[in-house]
Amino acid sequence: MGALTLDLAMLKYIGAGVLILFCVLLFVIPWIKDMLKKVSTGKLPAKLGCSDDPPPGGFAAHLKIIEEAAPNATPEVWWQYAKAEMTKAQVALEEAKLARKTL
């Protein structure tokens, strides 16, 4: 019988194959099973958005809070506060800092 010889290059390929198989079994197959379960139950992830979708809940209320907390601010400043998702207290604090700078 012929002797089975394994050189170092062959061991690298075997190791890479085992690692790929391990990753597929550990990550890819559970992800596919999860997606198939979501498809079958109708619980797919939300779409990225459509131009006809309404704004997220509380969006208008949040803008109203910012407008009331900073009545003397410009719309550009209001948008900065809204994009930063600031609370009423944070807006009031920023407005106080701006007022202190102008004095």
82 in Cβ contact with 59 (< 8 Å): no
> What mean pLDDT do residues 36-60 have?
71
Q: Which of 44-48, 50-54, 79-83 has the lowest mean pLDDT?
A: 44-48
Residue 65: how many CB atoms within 10 A of its CB? 17
* Average pLDDT over every residue of 44-68: 75
96 or 45, greater pLDDT:
96
State the pLDDT at residue 56. Answer: 73
Residue type for 36, please?
A: L
**pTM higher than 0.85:** no
* Spans of all domains in the chain: 1-45, 59-102
